[in-house]
Chains A and B, each alone.
Chain A
Amino acid sequence: MTTESRGELFDIGYRRYDGPREGLWRARQTLWTNGIRTALGIGRGMRAKILPLLLLIGVVGPAVITVIIASQSPEAARDALSPPTYYHLVSTFVMIFAAIVAPELICPDRRDRVLHLYLVRPIRPLDYILSRWAAFFAVMLFFVYIGQIIMFAGTLLASGDQWQYIKDYWLDVPKFMVAGLAIAAFYTTLSLAISSFTVRRAYASAFIVGVFIMGAASSGILTGCDESSFDVPEGTPVNCVPITGENGKWFALLDVARAPTHISNMVFDYEDESLTGIYVQDLPSAAPIGWYLLMVVVPGFILVRRYQRISL
Chain B
Amino acid sequence: MPPLLEAKQLTKRYGDTLALDAVDFEVHEGVTGLLGPNGAGKSTSIKLFLGLLRPTSGSAELSGVRPYESISARARMGYMPEHDCLPTSTTATEFLTHMAQVSGLPAAQARTRAADTLRHVGLHEERYRSIGEYSTGMKQRVKLAQSIVHDPVIVLLDEPTAGLDPAGRDEMLELIQKIGKEFGISVVISTHLIGDVERICDRVILLEGGKVTQQGEVSSYTQETQTLYIEIDGKLDDLLAALAKRKVQATADGGIILIEQATDVDYDAIRDAIVEVDARLRRLAPGCGRLTDMFRSAPK
Which of A's residues lie within 8 Å of B, judged by CB?
A: 13-17, 19-24, 26-27, 30-31, 34, 43-44, 108-109, 112-114, 116-124, 312
Tell me the bound Cα distance from A22 to B103 in angstroms. Answer: 8
| Binding stretch for chain A, among B3-11, B70-78, B219-227 | B70-78
Interface centre among B47, B81, B105 (most CB of A within 10 A): B105
Min CB distance A63 to B, Å, is 33
Classify the secondary structure of A's interface with B. loop
Are A14 and B71 touching (Cβ within 8 A)?
A: no
On chain B, the residues within 8 Å of A19 by CB distance are: 105-106, 109
Are A123 and B85 touching (Cβ within 8 A)?
A: no
Of A14, A44, A108, A121, which one neighbours B103 at CB under 8 angstroms?
A121
Which of B's residues lie within 8 Å of A, judged by CB?
A: 47, 50, 52, 71-75, 77, 79, 81, 83-89, 94, 98-99, 101-106, 109, 113, 116, 120, 146, 150-151, 182-184
Q: Which residue of A lies closest to B70 (CB)?
A: A122
Are A23 and B104 touching (Cβ within 8 A)?
A: yes
Are B183 and A14 touching (Cβ within 8 A)?
A: yes
On chain A, the residues within 8 Å of B83 by CB distance are: 113, 116
Are A118 and B116 touching (Cβ within 8 A)?
A: no
Are A117 and B99 touching (Cβ within 8 A)?
A: yes
On chain B, the residues within 8 Å of A108 by CB distance are: 87, 89
Tell me the bound Cα distance from A312 to B116 in angstroms. Answer: 29
Min CB distance B110 to A, Å, is 9
Are A17 and B109 touching (Cβ within 8 A)?
A: yes
Min CB distance B65 to A, Å, is 12
Enumerate 30 A-B pairs (CB-CB under 8 Å) in ascending A order. A14-B116, A14-B183, A17-B105, A19-B106, A21-B75, A21-B104, A21-B105, A22-B105, A22-B106, A26-B105, A27-B101, A27-B103, A30-B102, A31-B102, A112-B86, A112-B87, A112-B88, A113-B83, A113-B84, A114-B85, A116-B83, A117-B79, A120-B79, A121-B74, A121-B102, A122-B71, A122-B72, A122-B75, A123-B102, A124-B71
On chain B, the residues within 8 Å of A120 by CB distance are: 50, 52, 74, 77, 79
Are A13 and B105 touching (Cβ within 8 A)?
A: no
Of A26, A114, A117, which one neighbours B101 at CB under 8 angstroms?
A26
Tell me the bound Cα distance from A37 to B105 in angstroms. Answer: 19
Of A23, A112, A118, which one neighbours B75 at CB under 8 angstroms?
A23
Of A14, A20, A21, A23, which one neighbours B120 at CB under 8 angstroms?
A14
